[in-house]
Amino acid sequence: MGGLGLVLSIAKDAIAAQRYGLDVTAHNIANVNTEGYSRQRLVLHANDPAQLAGIMFGRGVDAYEINRLSDQVIENQLMQQNSEMLSSEEKVRYAQVLENIFSESSRANIGSLLVDYWNLWQDISNNPSGMAERGALYEHSVLLATQFAGPDSDMTQLQTDLTLSVSKGVERINQISGEIAEVNNQIVRLGADAANDLRDRRNILLTELGQYIDVKTFDQSNGTTTVTTARGAILVYDASSYQLQMGSGVNGNRIEWVSSSGSNIDITDYITRGQIGGWLDMRDGIIAKYQKDLDAVAQEFIWTVNQQHSQGLGLKLFETAVTGTYTTGASELLSTLAYGDKIDYTKDFKMWTYDTGSTFPVAVDVDMGISTANPTFTNFAGANSTYEIEITQGGVVDTDGVEFRWRKDGGAWTAATMLSTATDVTIDGSTVGFSTGDVLVAGNHLSVNTVAAGAPDPLVLTPSGTANDILDTYTFTVTTGGTIPGTPVISWSNSTATGTLNIAATGNYTVDGMTLNIASGDLEVGDTFTITTDASGSPTAALPSAWHWTLDSFADQFNRQTSRVTASKTVANALTFAPVTGGSGKELKNFAYSGGVTAANTTVTIHNYDELDTVTGGTKFRLDYTAGTWTIAQGDPGYGAIVLSGDANGVKIDLSGVANGSADLSASFATALTADGYVEFDISAASGTYSFAFSDDSAQDSGLAAALGINTFFTGTSASDIGINSAISASKDNIAAAQVNSDGTFGVGDNTNALAIASLQYSARTMSLHSVDRTTGTAEGSVTTTIEDYYASLVGSVGMISANIQRSNDFNQSMVNSLTALRDNISAVSLDEEMANLIKYQHAYTAAAKLLGIVDEMLATILQVK
């Protein structure tokens, strides 16, 4: 076709094309404010030319396609950055909440309450017997305990809220994944090229998905997009979507990906972006850290105060039973007490006892030492049994006589004696051997399991490496018995974690970062041992077959040393001290000193109170020190007492006179005697009522009373459970401002302990400092500082973290802004531009219409030719 017909056709196409142009412009203008809309553009092509009369003529315009101005690379970058920003935005929001929790603006914050707490002790030190001061301290302490619990429960609440938000987010993610799969499906149906607005829609959905969680996209050749999230989990593939869900039970706060096979994969710790990434960072990272740190400072504060308080004396002596606030595990091991690792076994437990009928206080001083002896065993009579051995009278092997008691499988105790000239003792057929010079400490306990033929098979285990939790106790309990290697199962727990070991083979086992080399041993169900870690996480094991203390062994040893107060284990595995009422038997009532032997220089210890009952006849006997030797003088008839050994540093006496060489009573001197003198013991029938108090001897205090929770100020072990000892709530008299003098006398107007407690404000303690990273786990370090400074740094660090999050959020925000500007520069609608296009198309339309008119005129002209 040629001639006017061609022009007419060109005009017709041009009119249509320009009108399309107007349509596209109108669509753009209409969507000027549509989120995620990419402006569209009409693509016009000149039609292929045609040859006419040997000349190539153009054939007008063709509206080729409408395309979308969009750069997918920038779209993806924007989506990622947006995802990042939403993560940090959420963190900013919750960091501000965290800052409010630790706000120091009010007077009732922990920092200033701590300062006031110490100051109130100083007030008490200024007026030790003042009830107003004691009342003020008590009320303040209640407030302090409440305030410690406040941030802790606020943080726990925050974590609960965050989990709720996470689960809401997961629901939304599932909806969006479904919608993206649907859009994929439509794009496939309409054809990959024909779906401008669907692509925009998909981009919007992906951006929204990115607001919640990490998103990665892969464009497929059929026009669909594959979407994956954290840990490479697929959310959308082609036209199908995969679900995320919250875990169940203990994993209720975890996010799981549900595969098509139905198996679930935990992806929680891999999620770093989007709101959920932010929420998880707060919940499992930042908040978790501050909860742990707050617990660490509360734990040390409780111990610090309790340790000093337990060495003090209130306004009156204890006249009724006192029960500890802390309990051991079922094993009764002292090392399983909450503060068991704080007990200093190189020191003593000391209590002063008072008899209303006697002016002389008597000290009970239990040496809390751990025997140095590493015993060897030959076969026992009992096969497949558990033998428990306790030292009832200690001493140095091959120098002193040592008395033991043993029992098999929890049966009755049997006594056994090792003479002062021997290095072994026979226990139910087994020769238990020691080395000359080994120190055996009364009250120490151990247990050995035997296998066939009564062969002893103690657990041989060596810990090494570095544990994840420092300054902590790991308790191991055998849940399935058996001989190693084989079927034994040991479960373990510490303050933060639990686990199980199946000892199928000998060799190395990893427990919470440390390595346990397990070589051999026969284990019974319930066997328990502990491993404690120091400030650098280095482990030390206390095995059943090594000497250790249990509640019972301590109570029994204590009871051997006094007849005035009875120690016993409660059903709940706490310890009770109760004064004896109307006691029977003999008791040591008085001492008298003369010459070079003075009260201040002398410590008298009774190792076996029962032996006093063997004393018959009179009530007094005297030990004379003359020219370096000790003799019993004025021994009333009936005394079989003999001096076992004695010099200027001390003297040991066997009251029963049985020549096994173990001392029932001893006196030692702080400084060696330089002059002759004597000490006289007044032993008489027990009578009267008794009361007791705890020692002032801080240099020798093992911390046992504090670890048992006896005569302590606070209860609990963490920020959430810190409370006041009920003994103090019941009577403010029990606030221990005073200390017992070294001779057992005391003054209720004394303020020594109050001063000591007030000084703790300035005492540097070693406390755990946590850094919690969701992906790499918790790292625990330690810092040595005062309680107050630790707390101040904690608040400072909350501020620091919040400030950092704000800064990174500002950065993310500006990144998103510039990427958005970049994206909008390409894709968003400019009305100015559209207005220009409008006019452009309008003019072209007018011109094309004009063309039509001209062709019309030309046709008319031709038609008029005659």
Residues lying near other proteins in the complex (CB under 8 A) are found at 32-33, 39, 95-96, 99-100, 102-105, 111-112, 114-116, 118-119, 122-123, 125-129, 738, 741, 745-752, 755, 758-759, 761-762, 788-789, 792-793, 795-800, 802-803, 806, 817, 820-821, 824-825, 827-833, 835-836, 838-839
Smaller CB distance to other proteins: residue 256 or 750? Answer: 750
Bridge partners of 390, per DSSP, are 405, 445
Tokens of 164: 């709720």
Give the C-alpha separation, 753 to 750, whole Å: 8
Smaller CB distance to other proteins: residue 698 or 797? Answer: 797
Minimum distance of other proteins from residue 203's CB (angstroms): 15
Task: Tell the residue number behind the tokens 């039973």, with chain if given.
Answer: 321
Smaller CB distance to other proteins: residue 131 or 383? Answer: 131
Minimum distance of other proteins from residue 811's CB (angstroms): 13
**Burial class of residue 399 in the structure, from the number of CB atoms within 10 Å of its CB (0-12 exposed, 13-18 middle, 19+ buried):** middle
What is the DSSP-derived secondary structure letter of residue 281? I
Minimum distance of other proteins from residue 467's CB (angstroms): 30
Identify whether the C-beta of residue 732 lies closer than 8 Å to the C-beta of residue 128.
no
**Residues contacting residue 596 through CB under 8 Å, at least 6 positions apart:** 625, 673, 674, 675, 676, 677
**Burial class of residue 401 in the structure, from the number of CB atoms within 10 Å of its CB (0-12 exposed, 13-18 middle, 19+ buried):** buried
What is the DSSP-derived secondary structure letter of residue 486? S
Smaller CB distance to other proteins: residue 228 or 761? Answer: 761
What one-character-per-residue DSSP string does 688-736 give?
SBEEEEE---GGGB-SHHHHHTSS-SEE-SSTTT-EE-HHHHH-GGGS-
* Half-sphere exposure in the Cβ direction for 303 (13 Å, CA): 24
Minimum distance of other proteins from residue 750's CB (angstroms): 4
Bridge partners of 258, per DSSP, are 264
* Half-sphere exposure in the Cβ direction for 623 (13 Å, CA): 31
Smaller CB distance to other proteins: residue 39 or 254? Answer: 39
Minimum distance of other proteins from residue 113's CB (angstroms): 11
Minimum distance of other proteins from residue 69's CB (angstroms): 10
Smaller CB distance to other proteins: residue 754 or 772? Answer: 754
Smaller CB distance to other proteins: residue 100 or 356? Answer: 100
Minimum distance of other proteins from residue 630's CB (angstroms): 30
Smaller CB distance to other proteins: residue 357 or 796? Answer: 796
Minimum distance of other proteins from residue 802's CB (angstroms): 4
Residue type, 94: Y
Minimum distance of other proteins from residue 198's CB (angstroms): 21
Smaller CB distance to other proteins: residue 762 or 811? Answer: 762
Smaller CB distance to other proteins: residue 185 or 742? Answer: 742
Long-range pairs for 435-438: beta carbons < 8 A, 24 or more residues apart: 435/373, 435/397, 436/397, 436/398, 437/396, 437/397, 437/398, 437/399, 438/371, 438/372, 438/373, 438/374, 438/396, 438/397
What is the DSSP-derived secondary structure letter of residue 747? -
**Residues contacting residue 556 through CB under 8 Å, at least 6 positions apart:** 390, 392, 443
Identify whether the C-beta of residue 653 lies closer than 8 Å to the C-beta of residue 572.
no
Smaller CB distance to other proteins: residue 625 or 790? Answer: 790
Smaller CB distance to other proteins: residue 502 or 745? Answer: 745
Q: Among residues 604, 603, 613, 607, which one has the least CA distance to residue 560?
A: 607
Smaller CB distance to other proteins: residue 642 or 838? Answer: 838
Smaller CB distance to other proteins: residue 129 or 766? Answer: 129
Assess whether the previous peptide bond of 488 is cis (omega < 30° from 0).
no
Minimum distance of other proteins from residue 772's CB (angstroms): 18
Residue type, 199: R
* Half-sphere exposure in the Cβ direction for 721 (13 Å, CA): 8
Minimum distance of other proteins from residue 825's CB (angstroms): 6
What one-character-per-residue DSSP string does 126-150 give?
HSTT-HHHHHHHHHHHHHHHHHHHH
Identify whether the C-beta of residue 287 lies closer than 8 Å to the C-beta of residue 770.
no
Smaller CB distance to other proteins: residue 112 or 384? Answer: 112
Starting from the edge strand earliest in sequence, which strands make up the sheet with 255-258, in order?
Answer: 244-246, 255-258, 264-266
Smaller CB distance to other proteins: residue 99 or 676? Answer: 99
Bridge partners of 769, per DSSP, are 781
Identify whether the C-beta of residue 751 lies closer than 8 Å to the C-beta of residue 124.
yes
Minimum distance of other proteins from residue 739's CB (angstroms): 8
Smaller CB distance to other proteins: residue 266 or 743? Answer: 743
Smaller CB distance to other proteins: residue 363 or 531? Answer: 363
Tokens of 153: 């429960």
Q: How far is CA 838 from CA 25, 632, 825, in A?
A: 6, 126, 19
Minimum distance of other proteins from residue 75's CB (angstroms): 15
Minimum distance of other proteins from residue 100's CB (angstroms): 8
Minimum distance of other proteins from residue 809's CB (angstroms): 12
CA–chain centroid gap for 322, Å, is: 30
Q: Among residues 605, 662, 651, which one has the least CA distance to residue 626?
A: 651
Minimum distance of other proteins from residue 154's CB (angstroms): 15
What one-character-per-residue DSSP string does 69-113 give?
---HHHHHHHHHHHHHHHHHHHHHHHHHHHHHHT--SSTTSHHHH
- C-alpha R_g of the chain: 43
Strands (E), 739-857: 765-773, 777-785
Minimum distance of other proteins from residue 120's CB (angstroms): 9
Minimum distance of other proteins from residue 770's CB (angstroms): 18
Give the C-alpha separation, 785 to 764, whole Å: 4
